[in-house]
């Protein structure tokens, strides 16, 4: 009796071991499949993202070659050059030079202006589209994105034609007698901000539209019912609920605007450089690839710090709410 | 003009949605007076206009014609945020980005009540709906019943003159719903606030209301207390919508002092009060509740029938009795005493309709 019980126990043990083995095998298979599914994305990120970035990091620590390219000698000159100028007579003396910092600051401000403007213009547009009847919403989205199917260069040129001294804006204003001399709009920072706003507006509108579309507008009625004015309904209910879209839109406009290159070149007239122009110049005319690489990395560092700061504040806010 | 002040009054209100051929007449010349401190229910099937009337009172819609008065004052020009009326929405419409406390405090904040008052009011409301301790939860962390209570607390925190409730119990499961009915009734009595309650559930309406307005196709079909609505339905719609009813075509055989004796095609006799349009010899429709009919041991006489279906439902047994002219009658017999008057399919039964049990309807 006890013997047979012992045998059956043994058998059960063997069975259990077999089961765990099979489970482990399955687990392994699953893990392999997971990696297989991930691999296209990983390869793309590796080949087109991380590897070039790696090259840029290396180049930024080399010295410029005579005819473009790099010489394989280690140097931190590219980073030093960002803040200092070497004395012409004494290579060892460094003189503080804020030119490049100013370019970064100007780019930063222009990107902020165009992001804020995109938010001011984009939010009502997104709100309008999201509050249309569902069957017409897609039509509005289509109409809104239609101009952006055109090449960016062509759209920027058309902007140039509109705002130049003899452009439509000035012609109309002169004809109406509002002004008696053409306004100088083209080749100013304003023109650049305007161009950036126009170029990146859809990146603001579409994410906000996507989050507004999900908002339950019965909440708006509840807000009115609870004595909130229109403005307070907007501020206390609609904006907080659309916040993910607003944040995504701001990031999507701010980052490309910061590194924009075509718009400031055409509409800024190349007078006031932006980061994008500075970098392109280093790889082109100036033939200083290490400095161009360093400038790009510094820009990246700024953006990352800004994003980390943002993430830190929002998570703290959330933790605060839950605590 | 009447001297008694109504909490809510609708005067000749018509509401039309849309234009041209697609126009829908949601409310058709509705007039109604809701008294102060009353639990008033708008009852009707979906699409009858009950929710539209509620939204007109809240100010979320404007009437096409007619006017809405709150405490005797015309409020047609006031947007919802300027009316001292609050709504408990069917979907609760709690703000998902705010905590329970913030939700309840919202209306008070918007009205500019100072912080020192808001805190205690919120605590008081949470106690009222038995949710103390849930202040910092988000709506998504609450069950349906709890969300319902928060929605109630959020509306009641403002001490409105009138509380509008748009099918607030329809999203709850049966047990919770039954519990909430009593709670709502208690809340109404405790706070003394006028409740205007919209529902399509007749049981809800009958158990909670002081008065009920039964609505259909944009019009009020009948207005009265639950007893009147159930016992004395004025027309076929009301009799059909509230509870179960047998409709019987009958001929008026005699008429005196407002009392009529009618005889149906199957030979059953009914004594009931006559309506104005009834004429001796004319055809009328009678409504007869299944539970008012008595069944007895069969003798082969006029007015007997045969049981064709018997359904045991615990407290009652529902019978379908076929009459001489092949028409059928639903009968409900309470299973009060064990073994008492149980009939089987195929049994012959005698049918006794007490005087006044049938009700003559306006066609």
CATH number of the domain that A219 lies in? 1.10.3720.10
- A241 in contact with B, Cβ within 8 Å: yes
Q: Say whether pLDDT at A15 is over 70.
A: no
Point out the residue among A218, A228, A240 whose CB comes nearest to the CB of B81. A228
Q: Are residue B102 and residue B158 in the same domain, yes or no?
A: yes
Q: Are residue A47 and residue A178 in the same domain, yes or no?
A: no
Q: Are residue B276 and residue B354 in the same domain, yes or no?
A: yes
Predicted local confidence at residue A3, as pLDDT: 53
- B154 in contact with A, Cβ within 8 Å: yes
CA of A241: which chain B residue's CA is closest? B97
CA-based max dimension of chain B: 81
Cβ B89–A236 below 8 Å, yes or no?
A: no
Q: Are residue B196 and residue B286 in the same domain, yes or no?
A: no
Predicted local confidence at residue A229, as pLDDT: 93
- B52 in contact with A, Cβ within 8 Å: no
Q: Are residue B47 and residue B150 in the same domain, yes or no?
A: yes
Tell me what the mean pLDDT of segment A178-182 comes to. 84
Q: Are residue B205 and residue B265 in the same domain, yes or no?
A: no
> Does residue A319 sit within a domain?
no
Q: Are residue A230 and residue A168 in the same domain, yes or no?
A: yes
Identify the sign of the CA torsion B185, B186, B187, B192: positive
> Does residue A72 sit within a domain?
no
Taking contacts as CB-CB distances below 8 angstroms, the residues of chain B near A320 are none
| pLDDT band at residue B2 using 50, 70 and 90 as cut-offs | very low
Q: Are residue A283 and residue A183 in the same domain, yes or no?
A: yes
Taking contacts as CB-CB distances below 8 angstroms, the residues of chain B near A241 are 96-97
Q: Are residue B144 and residue B198 in the same domain, yes or no?
A: yes
Greater model confidence, B201 or B173: B201
> Does residue A63 sit within a domain?
no
Predicted local confidence at residue A6, as pLDDT: 54
Q: Is A218 exposed, middle or buried (0-12, 13-18, 19+ CB in 10 A)?
A: middle
Cβ B93–A222 below 8 Å, yes or no?
A: yes
Q: Are residue B44 and residue B153 in the same domain, yes or no?
A: yes
CA distance B95 to chain A (A): 7
Please enumerate in sequence order all residues whose Cβ is within 8 A of that of A108, keeping only pairs 6 or more positions apart, or say none. Answer: A258, A302
Taking contacts as CB-CB distances below 8 angstroms, the residues of chain B near A222 are 87, 89, 93-95
Q: Say whether pLDDT at B363 is over 80.
A: no
Q: Where are the beta strands (DSSP E) in chain A?
A: 63-64, 70-71, 84-86, 94-96
- A318 in contact with B, Cβ within 8 Å: no
Please state whether beta strands B211-216 and B219-224 pair in parallel, antiparallel, or not at all (unpaired).
antiparallel
Work out how many domains chain B is built from and give that number: 2
Helices A189-213 and A134-145: angle between axes, nearest 10 degrees: 160
CA distance B255 to chain A (A): 55
pLDDT digits (tens, 9 = 90+) for A207-254: 999 999 999 989 999 999 999 999 999 999 999 999 999 999 999 999
Work out how many domains chain A is built from and give that number: 2
Cβ A228–B97 below 8 Å, yes or no?
A: no
Q: Which of B211, B239, B267 is the last residue of a domain?
A: B239
Poorest-confidence range of A197-206, A295-304, B83-92, B342-351? B342-351
The strands making up B259-264's β-sheet, listed across from edge to edge, are B269-273, B259-264, B246-256, B283-288, B358-361
pTM for the complete prediction? 0.78
Tell me what the mean pLDDT of segment A176-193 comes to. 86
| pLDDT band at residue B301 using 50, 70 and 90 as cut-offs | low
Tell me what the mean pLDDT of segment A254-281 comes to. 86
pLDDT digits (tens, 9 = 90+) for B59-77: 999 999 999 999 888 998 8
> Does residue B1 sit within a domain?
no
Q: Say whether pLDDT at A121 is over 90.
A: yes
Q: Domain of B83? A: 6-239
pLDDT digits (tens, 9 = 90+) for B224-267: 999 999 999 989 999 999 989 999 999 998 888 888 999 888 88
Q: Are residue B353 and residue B292 in the same domain, yes or no?
A: yes
Helix, coil or strand: residue B69 = strand
Distance CA A265, CA A271 (A): 8
Q: Which of B181, B213, B239 is the last residue of a domain?
A: B239
Point out the residue among A232, A237, A322 whose CB comes nearest to the CB of B95. A237
Q: Which of B179, B214, B239 is the last residue of a domain?
A: B239
Q: Domain of A11? A: 2-55
- Please state, for a pLDDT cut of 70, what percent of chain A lies above it: 92
């Amino acid at each position: 009796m006890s013997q047979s019980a012992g045998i059956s126990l043994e058998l059960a043990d063997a069975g259990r071991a077999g089961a765990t083995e099979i489970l482990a095998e399955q687990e392994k298979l699953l893990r392999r499949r997971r990696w297989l599914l991930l691999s296209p994305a990983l390869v793309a990120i590796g080949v087109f993202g991380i590897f070039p970035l790696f090259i840029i990091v290396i180049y930024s620590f080399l010295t410029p070659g005579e005819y473009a390219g790099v010489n394989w000698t280690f140097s931190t000159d590219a980073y030093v050059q960002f803040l200092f100028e070497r004395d012409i007579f004494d290579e060892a003396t460094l003189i503080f030079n804020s030119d490049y910092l100013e370019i970064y600051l100007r780019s930063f401000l222009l990107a902020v202006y165009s992001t804020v403007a995109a938010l001011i213009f984009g939010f009502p547009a997104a709100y309008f589209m999201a509050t249309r009847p569902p069957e017409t919403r897609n039509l509005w989205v289509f109409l809104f994105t239609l101009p952006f199917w055109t090449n960016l260069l062509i759209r920027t040129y058309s902007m140039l034609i509109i705002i130049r001294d003899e452009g439509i804006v000035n012609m109309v204003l002169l004809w109406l007698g509002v002004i008696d001399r053409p306004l100088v709009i083209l080749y100013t920072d304003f023109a650049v901000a305007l161009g950036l706003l126009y170029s990146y507006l859809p990146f603001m509108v579409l994410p906000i539209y996507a989050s507004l579309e999900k908002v339950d507008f019965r909440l708006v009625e509840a807000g009115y019912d609870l004595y909130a004015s229109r403005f307070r309904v907007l501020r206390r209910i609609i904006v907080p609920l659309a916040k993910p879209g607003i944040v995504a839109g701001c990031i999507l406009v701010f980052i490309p605007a910061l590194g924009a290159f075509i718009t400031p070149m055409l509409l800024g007239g190349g007078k006031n450089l932006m980061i994008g122009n500075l970098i392109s110049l280093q790889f082109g005319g100036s033939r200083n690839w290490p400095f161009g690489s360093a400038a790009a990395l510094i820009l990246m560092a700024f953006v990352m710090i800004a994003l980390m700061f943002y993430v830190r504040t929002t998570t703290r806010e959330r933790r605060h709410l839950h605590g | 003009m009447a001297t008694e002040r109504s909490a809510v009054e609708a005067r000749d209100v018509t509401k039309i949605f849309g234009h041209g051929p697609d126009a829908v007449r949601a409310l058709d010349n509705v007039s109604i007076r809701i008294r102060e401190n009353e639990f008033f229910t708008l009852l009707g099937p979906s699409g009858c206009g009950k929710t539209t009337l509620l939204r007109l009172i809240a100010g979320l819609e404007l009437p096409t014609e007619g006017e809405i008065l709150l405490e005797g004052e015309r409020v047609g020009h006031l947007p919802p945020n300027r009316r001292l009326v609050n709504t408990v929405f069917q979907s609760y419409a709690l703000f998902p980005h705010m905590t329970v406390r913030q939700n309840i405090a919202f209306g008070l904040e918007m009205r500019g009540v100072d912080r020192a008052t808001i805190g205690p009011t919120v605590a008081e409301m949470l106690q009222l709906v038995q949710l103390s301790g849930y202040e910092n939860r988000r709506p998504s962390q609450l069950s349906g019943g709890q969300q319902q209570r928060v929605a109630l607390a959020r509306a009641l925190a403002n001490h409105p003159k009138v509380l509008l409730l748009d099918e607030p119990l329809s999203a709850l499961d049966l047990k919770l719903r039954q519990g909430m009915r009593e709670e709502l009734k208690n809340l109404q009595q405790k706070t003394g606030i006028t409740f205007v309650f919209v529902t399509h559930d007749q049981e809800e309406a009958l158990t909670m209301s002081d008065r009920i307005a039964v609505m259909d196709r944009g019009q009020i079909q009948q207005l009265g207390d639950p007893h009147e609505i159930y016992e004395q339905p004025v027309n076929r719609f009301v009799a059909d919508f509230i509870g179960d009813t047998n409709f019987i075509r009958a001929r008026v055989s005699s008429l005196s002092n407002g009392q009529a004796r009618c005889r149906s095609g199957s030979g059953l006799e009914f004594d009931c009060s006559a309506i104005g349009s009834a004429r001796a010899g004319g055809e009328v429709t009678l409504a007869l509740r299944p539970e008012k009919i008595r069944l007895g041991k069969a003798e082969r006489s006029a007015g007997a029938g045969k049981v064709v279906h018997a359904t045991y439902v615990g407290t009652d047994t529902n019978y379908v009795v076929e009459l001489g002219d092949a028409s059928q009658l639903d009968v409900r017999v309470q299973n009060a005493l064990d073994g008492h008057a149980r009939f089987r399919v195929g049994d012959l039964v005698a049918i006794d309709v007490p005087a006044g049990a049938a009700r003559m309807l306006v066609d």
